[in-house]
Chains A and B, each alone.
Chain A
């Protein structure tokens, strides 16, 4: 974003804020807490820029700002806000934790769902009329939300916010506003909002009403709320390749989704070449009969049919693909790019169109100014003929895929197929905290370079 735009944006935003918070914005946090960390703010323009910067990453800066003054244990690391899983809750005194932990533990017969979570919150309110230790409880509840599967439930978040005592933390004077009234509580409020943000939960009017009741208009949680309202909608559809919110659990369905996700051609057909045996018979993935799902478009089929049998084609992989927090692996069937001298120029037959000439008999070509052929983004690669996802990444499994492909591509029988399988690609999965990445391909002993490659491929795909 350009400089001037940033300034304008900052101006208009702060104006939109209604001027009420402006004191809080411009004055207190930055001149006081920030000047020590960042360079001196020299003029109003610079200041505005700094402010925009803060507007851009909505989640972190207020917290960082808070950081300088209050060494509360609520440490929000940089990572926690980048990776979409719940922020690491602070290390609280163990006693307090143990205290409220019981509320969650006593959920009957271990069923963990919304009802029992709500019950726990209500229990807390009953058990503790004075709301003693409510901040600790909220942090604890935030951590527990995922276990109960309520991390995307707006009503639960509102319920959590409702635990805060009302009117107590509202600043009554301008000085209280400037000096970060009740920092621990505000921070806790922000943590709730941040977790909502990380799970893509849009706050509603009720949230706003609660925040005003609890912290007042001129507070950091309120600021966070406004920013969420502003930016959330604009970023929600930023991904041109959207994924469903809940990914299918079945690996075959997941593979289907992933293949469709990669293949731009809508006429491409997904084929399940082999189903894994039902789960109850053995462990999740049967080593002898893993699933094999492939995709191929009609164009790819035609290209494969025209392929010169003298040139081998390759099965390559596994390459990784991230679908939300799941990592899946795929293989491709590809050939090398033909050397330029062997490429056939597609000839236009003389008698083709009955109605109009398909080519002009002229000696001159397109002039340079209208030649858009050259494009640095178009790097020629060899043709890809098919993609597959399999439960196992060994040659035997992939050979089955090739066999399956031969049914629809008879030409494949004549073409030599070379398997170029990377030793492993497990490292990405290890770093992911997803409950199950489809099936971790084998293991250790890979080098850093592999790692980098994998990452790049992931980026491309």
Chain B
């Protein structure tokens, strides 16, 4: 923004007419942009791809009936037969429970029907996850099995591989595990040490190395393993590249360590897996030799969206439990539910659950559209928002419950322990924020290349245009991206939220442009800025999702849609103000921007590797 200040002065004479021109042009641009599949990416350019998110995706009546057939028995099973407390205490899911899960078909939810799975769409998968979340150990076990463990085979496996492995995996006869993490390699693929070398006869790869923290590592019989292989490049040089393999336990040399003792999700099996001279046939290479990186990335990106509905399901249950408590427990002759501070917590939980549910099903709906839509940013947003929402809400719920929330005799503390892992696995939230921000900035950067170059070169027309737009913005323009109005995409009851969204989106686009101008490709190094960009985007996506869903509910006249309107308005207003604050923090000279000081403090602390302030009781004499 500061550079424009400079231009402002120089262009004082020409500004009035230019501003009008610029405004007209920018509006035309917004109206005539090409339809594209990426909603979140377009937000970085200050545009809303209405077609992607309005109206809220729906499933047909047939599909709904079908899914309800599944939901009934599964819900019954989870509420009546699964003893979560016992699973947590013993650190093991009983075999009969696993058998029942298999018979319900829950091990092959996304496996296509021709391979014996349920062949559920993303939306229906999300719906079932909502119920499975009632026990988080089972949810994690199932997710490791099918969201990442066998996903590689579905996504990149050859016909033979699918035919060989999927039926048994779908029936639950075999369990799958995903082996990527190593002692020296978390998200850093370059430091993977496990190595696969081609045997003399070129029929086998010999696999050596160890993997840590493998969920289902002790139970699985089919592993998706990532290992370094030597690949001859096109220019003849030999390079180490990652390759994905399907490894059966029966290949020999596969051993797993003892199950790890964990804070939460204690019923799930997590252990080390060692491969020692395991001979993997060449036909078990997943995808191309040397193409394992892509495989891993695609699997990881595809698995995230379901966390939204999973957490929402857990929160709904939690709200029931705590509301029951709050309405029966009496203090000072009043129930807890009569106290404002308790009521506030319920509003927060309802709001978070509503937003993450909307986000999750919106994303699932996008994924179910024909073609292979790239919704990885949206999925990452869902994961970050829902995991943080879960932690916050569970913590608030424990607050309502007071002391009984802290006791092991009650089920509540387990929720807290179990939800902590959500912030960490499937890519920590910090790393996902980097992903969200950088992927979007890459998109915006490409689209803005021409403009930025001209601005840097000092092209008069472009400069004037920018200056004019800035001026117009600073004079307080009303942003209209066409969400509301007659036949608008958003219902008038939530139009206020839509206006806020439009304004945020517009200024977000401006800020992104400014950031790209300021940092160019070196923005990769500015993690504090990237975090804020991601935070704004998460809020924007949340606002879009709730607006879209509330509009649908109102127009269809769903039950309690007035409640949804309330939640939507609350969330939109809160997110709007958060966004304004974050956007002002992104401004270089604003008083809200404390980056320099934050960096300095951490630098001083890290240099000494300790807290360096003197003790408050210290004296000088």
Say yes or no: A356 contacts B434, CB within 8 Å: yes
Q: Mark B7-24, 1 if CB is under 8 A from A, else 0.
A: 000000000000000000
**Is there contact, CB below 8 Å, between A367 and B449?**
no
Q: A448 within 8 Å of B by Cβ?
A: no
Determine whether the beta carbon of A354 is less than 8 Å from that of B293. Answer: yes
For the complex of A and B, list the 9 residue pairs with the smallest distance between their C-beta atoms, beginning with the closest: A233-B620, A356-B435, A351-B293, A364-B520, A356-B434, A362-B521, A362-B445, A365-B520, A360-B521
Binary contact readout A347-380 vs B (1 if CB under 8 angstroms, 0 otherwise):
0010111111111111111110110000000000
If over half of B's interface residues share one DSSP class (helix, strand or loop), that class is named, otherwise mixed; here it is: helix
A282 CA / B519 CA spacing, docked (Å):
65
- Stretch from B134-142, B183-191, B308-316 at the A interface: B183-191
What CA separation (Å) do A232 and B619 show in the bound complex? 12
The answer for the CA separation of A354 and B439 in the assembled complex, in Å, is: 13
Verify A355–B435 contact, CB threshold 8 A: yes
Q: Is the CB of B439 within 8 A of A364?
A: no
Complex CA–CA separation, A232 to B189 (angstroms): 55
Q: Specify which chain B residues have a CB less than 8 angstroms from the CB of A232 in the assembled complex.
A: 620-621
Least distance between A354 CB and chain B CB atoms (Å): 5
Interface of A is mostly: loop
Say whether B438 contacts A366, CB under 8 Å: no
User: Which A residues lie within 8 Å of B452 (CB)?
Assistant: 364
Measured in the bound complex, the distance between the Cα atoms of B452 and A367 in whole Å is 11
- Among A202, A232, A264, A352, chain B packs the most CB atoms within 10 A around the CB of A352
- Are A359 and B521 within 8 A (Cβ)? yes
Q: How far is the CA of A367 from the CA of B520 in the complex (A)?
A: 7
Judged by a CB distance under 8 angstroms, whether B505 is at the interface is: no
Q: Given A363-B449, A369-B3, A353–B520 Cβ distance below 8 Å?
A: no
A202/B621 in contact, CB under 8 A? yes
- Chain A residue with Cβ nearest B608: A266
Instruction: Take A351-B242, A362-B516 as given contacts and tell me if A357 and B445 are in contact as well, using a CB distance cutoff of 8 Å.
Output: no
Cβ contact within 8 Å between B521 and A236 = no
Residue of A nearest to B614 (CB): A237
State the CA gap A282–B594 with chains docked (Å). 62
Q: Which of A233, A355, A364 contacts B521 (CB 8 A)?
A: A364
The complex places the Cα of A360 from the Cα of B435 at a distance, in Å, of 11
Q: Do A360 and B523 contact each other (CB < 8 Å), given the known contacts A351-B293, A354-B293?
A: yes
Contact B449 A356 (CB under 8 A): no
| Interface presence of A204 (CB below 8 A) | yes
**B300 interface residue per 8 A CB criterion:** yes
Chain A proximity of B381: nearest CB distance (Å) = 14
Q: Are B180 and A354 neighbours in the complex by a CB distance under 8 Å? A: yes
Is B241 engaged at the interface, CB distance under 8 Å to the other chain?
yes
B 233-248 contacts with A by CB, 8 A: 241-242
* Chain B neighbourhood of A356, CB < 8 A: 431-432, 434-435, 438-439
CA distance A264 to B445 in the complex (A): 39
B281 CB to nearest A CB, Å: 25
By CB atoms of chain A within 10 A, which of B3, B187, B522 has the most? B522
**Given A233-B621, A236-B620, A352-B190, A362-B609 contact (CB < 8 Å):** no
Give the residues in chain A near B522, CB-CB below 8 Å: 365-366
Contacts of A360 in B (CB 8 A): 438, 441-442, 445, 521, 523-524
Chain A residues whose CB sits within 8 angstroms of the CB of B516 once the complex forms: 362, 364
The digit string for B413-435, where 1 denotes a CB below 8 A from any CB of A, is 00000000000000100011011
> Hey, which chain B residues are within 8 Å of A236, CB to CB?
620
**B residues near A357, Cβ cutoff 8 Å:** 435, 438-439, 442, 524
Which residues in A have some Cβ–Cβ distance to B below 8 Å? 202, 204, 229, 232-233, 236, 264, 266, 349, 351-367, 369-370
Which residue of A has the minimal Cβ distance to B6?
A369
B517 at the A/B interface (Cβ < 8 Å)?
yes
**B300 contacts which chain A residues (CB < 8 A)?**
354-355
Set B189, B449, B520, B607: member contacting A354, Cβ < 8 A: B189
Q: A213 → chain B, closest Cβ, in Å? A: 21
Which residues of A sit under 8 angstroms from B520, Cβ to Cβ? Answer: 362, 364-367
Could you tell me which residues of chain B, from 453 to 485, have a CB within 8 Å of some CB in chain A?
453, 456
Give Cα A359–Cα B2 distance, bound, in whole angstroms: 26
CB-CB contacts of B274-316 with A at 8 A, as 1s and 0s?
Answer: 0000000000000000000100110010000000000000000
Compute how far the CA of A255 lies from the CA of B427 in the bound complex, rounded to whole angstroms. Answer: 46
Q: List 9 A-B contacts (CB under 8 A).
A: A352-B188, A354-B189, A355-B427, A356-B439, A360-B523, A362-B445, A364-B521, A365-B521, A365-B522
Asked if B518 CB lies within 8 Å of chain A CBs, one says: yes
Complex interface: chain A residues within 8 A of B190 (CB): 349, 351-352
Assess whether A366 is in contact with B620, with CB atoms less than 8 Å apart: no
Q: How long is the Cα–Cα vector from A299 to B316 in the complex, in angstroms?
A: 51
Q: Which residue of A lies closest to B2 (CB)?
A: A369
Chain B residues at the A interface, C-beta cutoff of 8 Å:
2-3, 180, 187-190, 241-242, 293, 296-297, 300, 427, 431-432, 434-435, 438-439, 441-442, 445-446, 449, 452-453, 456, 516-524, 588, 607-609, 620-621
Which residues of the partner chain A approach B441 to less than 8 Å between Cβ atoms? 360
Contact residues in B for A367 (Cβ distance below 8 Å)? 3, 456, 517-520
| Chain A, Cβ-Cβ closest to B436 | A356
| Assembled-state Cα–Cα distance A351/B190 (Å) | 7
Within the complex, the shortest CB–CB distance from A117 to chain B, in Å, comes to 24
Whether the Cβ atoms of B446 and A362 lie closer than 8 Å is yes
Is B449 touching A362 in the complex (CB atoms < 8 A)? Answer: yes
A406 to chain B, nearest CB (A): 26
Contact A355/B434 with A202-B621, A204-B621, A236-B620 known, Cβ cut-off 8 Å: yes
B412 vs chain A, min Cβ distance (A): 32
Q: How far is the CA of A204 from the CA of B620 in the complex (A)?
A: 12
Alpha-carbon distance between A406 and B518 when the two chains are bound, in angstroms: 47
Q: Considering the chains assembled together, what is the distance between the CA atoms of A358 and B189 in angstroms?
A: 12
Q: Look across to chain A and name the residue whose beta carbon is closest to the beta carbon of B294.
A: A351
What residues of chain A lie closer than 8 Å to B449, measured between beta carbons?
A: 362-364
Chain A residues with CB under 8 Å of B439's CB are: 356-357
Closest Cβ–Cβ distance, residue A106 to chain B (whole Å): 36
CA distance A352 to B296 in the complex (A): 12
- Of chain A, the residue at the smallest CB distance from B619 is A233
Q: How far is the CB of B211 from chain A (nearest CB, A)?
A: 14
User: Which residues of B lie under 8 Å from residue A358 when comparing CB positions?
Assistant: 524
The listed residue (A204, A353, A363) touching B189 by CB distance below 8 A is A353
Q: Which residues of A contact B609 (CB under 8 A)?
A: 266
Residues of chain A within 8 A (CB-CB) of B438 are 356-357, 360
Shortest B615–chain A CB gap in Å is 13
A362 touches B442 (CB 8 A): yes
Looking at the assembled complex, report how far the CB atom of B235 sits from the nearest CB atom of chain A, in whole angstroms.
14
Nearest CB on A from B611, distance (A): 15
Interchain CA distance A81-B518 in the complex, whole Å: 53
Given contacts A232-B620, A356-B431, contact A351 B521 (CB under 8 A): no
Cα-based distance from A356 to B186 in the complex (angstroms): 13
13 further A-B pairs in the complex, CB-CB below 8 A; given A362-B442, A362-B449: A204-B621, A229-B621, A232-B620, A264-B607, A266-B608, A353-B189, A354-B189, A355-B432, A360-B441, A362-B446, A362-B516, A363-B521, A364-B453
Q: Could you tell me the distance between the alpha carbons of A357 and B431 in the complex, rounded to whole angstroms?
A: 10
Q: In chain B, what residue has the closest Cβ to A353?
A: B187
A370 to B521, Cβ gap below 8 A?
Answer: no
Residues of A within 8 A of B242 (CB): 351
The distance in angstroms between the C-alpha atoms of A360 and B620, with both chains bound, is 52
Residues of A within 8 A of B3 (CB): 367, 369
Residues on A with C-beta less than 8 A from B187 are 353-355
Q: Is the CB of B297 within 8 A of A354?
A: yes
Measured CA separation A349–B191 after assembly (Å): 12
Measured between alpha carbons, how far is A369 from B242 in the docked complex, in Å?
40
Tell me the bound Cα distance from A355 to B189 in angstroms.
9
A348 CB, min distance to chain B CBs, angstroms: 9
Smallest beta-carbon distance A459→chain B, Å: 22
Q: Whole-angstrom distance from the CB of A227 to the nearest CB of chain B?
A: 14
For B453, B516, B621, the residue with the greatest tally of chain A CB atoms inside 10 Å of its CB is: B621
A423 to B621, CA, bound (A): 46
Quote the shortest CB–CB distance from A230 to chain B (angstroms): 11
Q: Which of B297, B449, B521, B588 has the most CB of A within 10 A?
A: B521
